[in-house]
């Protein structure tokens, strides 16, 4: 039953997966990993109230505070159906915090979303998406100064996210900083030329007496919504896609590190960092997932440097039935001495 439920998820049939997971739940002892995936699939199918109740129930509240084993600090693997039936929590507590934040945001409970987003960012300090979620929820909660700083941090971590630059531009425009806002909107366009909100905002910004855009209510758009836990947009990073051909890296330039950054590392041998890249059908990276490491493990400027380089990498997308498809790809970024 667990394998069947996972097969539905891998195919993007989240309603069918939810039905199978609920049937499985009736047959086994309580398991936090299964409960979490049921809540996520409830949210993906629009049952936000049920998802909220499940995420805040004692079982997942205990999972959120479960920090006993740092080896859990990674994405769920492809073969995760065994986790759903063994009666213990094998996952990473970040999932609970991020799912709570997304569900609360969709329900318009911005204060609850902000609290959960802050917890998620604390667990995954190099995630630009978590920083963006915290910025957006802070803006809607009224803490504009903090939201502006968080949006700037999100864009610094993941320059590929046009939503981070756009939110920063909106906040700066609303604060009367029109020159800075224009620069942020241009950065959003550079990150994704098809991101229409930034292009329209840049035109309207130049009109005398124009009013600033309203705050966005979704923190990711388009294919990047696949990086949301509770969005029905696929593929998800833990899903196994059926492919005719595998993706390949076609172009991977790396700019040299600044001397000051190189001196901080004092590497004796190359350091390989594995990054998950969400690529579209044309092979362009649209989002990244940095490895889950403590904040002191990597300099912030290295993460920014990697983000700028990865933004220029190009892949040959995998194919299915002869057509290219979007996919998550593991990229190796090598920092050399």
**Per-domain boundaries in the chain:** 1-124, 125-225, 241-335
pLDDT at position 268 is: 82
CB 59 within 8 A of CB 37: no
Residues 6+ apart with CB under 8 A from 325: 241, 243, 281, 317, 318, 319
What the block records as the tokens of 197 is 């909100």
According to DSSP, the residues that pair with 249 across neighbouring strands are 315
pLDDT at residue 331 in the model? 92
Q: How many CA atoms lie within 13 A of 265 on its CB side?
A: 19
Q: What is the model's pLDDT at position 171?
A: 98
- Terminal-to-terminal C-alpha distance of the chain: 50
Which string of b and e fits 31-41 if b means at least 16 CB within 10 Å? bbbbbbbbbbb
- Write down the pLDDT at residue 319: 97
pLDDT on residue 66? 86
pLDDT of residue 141: 98
pLDDT in 10s for each residue of the chain, 337 residues: 999 999 999 999 999 999 999 999 999 999 999 999 999 999 999 999 999 999 999 999 999 998 777 888 889 999 999 999 999 999 999 999 999 999 999 999 999 999 999 999 999 999 999 999 999 999 999 999 999 999 999 999 999 999 999 999 999 999 999 999 999 999 999 999 999 999 999 999 999 889 999 999 999 999 999 999 999 999 999 999 889 999 999 999 999 888 888 887 777 888 899 999 999 999 999 999 998 888 888 888 999 999 999 999 999 999 999 999 999 999 999 988 7
CATH for the stretch 241-335: 3.30.2420.10
Superfamily of domain 125-225: Tetratricopeptide repeat domain (1.25.40.10)
Q: How far apart are CA 252 and CA 256, in angstroms?
A: 13
Q: What is the per-residue pLDDT for 266?
A: 77
Is it true that the peptide bond before 136 is cis, omega within 30 degrees of 0?
Answer: no
Residue 12's pLDDT is 94
- Model-level pTM? 0.95
DSSP secondary structure, 267-297, as one string: -SS-EEEEEEEEE-TTSBEEEEE-----GGG
Domains 125-225 and 241-335 share a fold: no
Rounded to whole angstroms, the Cα distance separating 31 from 2 reads 12
Q: Check residue 199 and give its pLDDT.
A: 96
């Amino acid at each position: 039953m667990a394998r069947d439920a996972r097969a539905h998820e891998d195919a993007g049939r989240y309603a069918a997966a939810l039905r199978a997971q609920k049937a499985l739940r009736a047959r086994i002892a309580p398991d936090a990993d299964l409960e979490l995936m049921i809540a996520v699939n409830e949210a993906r199918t629009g049952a936000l109230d049920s998802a909220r109740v499940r995420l805040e129930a004692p079982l997942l509240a205990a999972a959120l505070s479960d920090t006993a084993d740092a080896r859990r600090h990674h994405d769920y693997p492809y073969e995760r159906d065994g986790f759903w039936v063994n009666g213990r929590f094998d996952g990473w507590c970040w999932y609970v915090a991020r799912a709570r934040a997304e569900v609360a945001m969709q329900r318009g409970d911005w204060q609850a979303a902000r609290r959960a987003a802050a917890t998620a960012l604390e667990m995954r300090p190099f995630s630009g998406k978590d920083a963006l979620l915290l910025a957006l929820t802070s803006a809607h909660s009224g803490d504009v100064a903090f939201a502006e700083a968080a949006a700037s941090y999100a864009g610094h971590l993941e320059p590929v996210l046009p939503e981070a630059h756009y939110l920063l531009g909106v906040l700066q425009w609303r604060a009367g900083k029109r020159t800075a806002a224009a620069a942020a909107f241009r950065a959003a366009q550079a990150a994704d030329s098809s991101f229409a909100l930034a292009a329209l905002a840049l035109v309207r910004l130049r009109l005398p007496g124009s009013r600033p855009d309203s705050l966005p209510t979704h923190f990711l758009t388009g294919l990047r919504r696949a990086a949301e836990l509770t969005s029905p947009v696929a593929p998800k990073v833990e899903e196994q896609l059926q492919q005719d051909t595998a993706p390949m890296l076609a172009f991977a330039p790396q700019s040299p590190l600044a001397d000051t950054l190189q001196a901080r590392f004092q590497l004796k041998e190359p350091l390989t960092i594995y990054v998950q890249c969400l690529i579209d059908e044309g092979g362009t990276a649209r989002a990244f997932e940095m490895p889950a490491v403590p904040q002191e493990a990597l300099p912030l400027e290295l993460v920014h440097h990697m983000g700028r380089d990865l933004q220029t990498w190009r892949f040959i997308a995998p194919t299915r039935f002869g057509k290219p498809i979007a996919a998550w790809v593991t990229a190796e970024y090598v920092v050399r001495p």
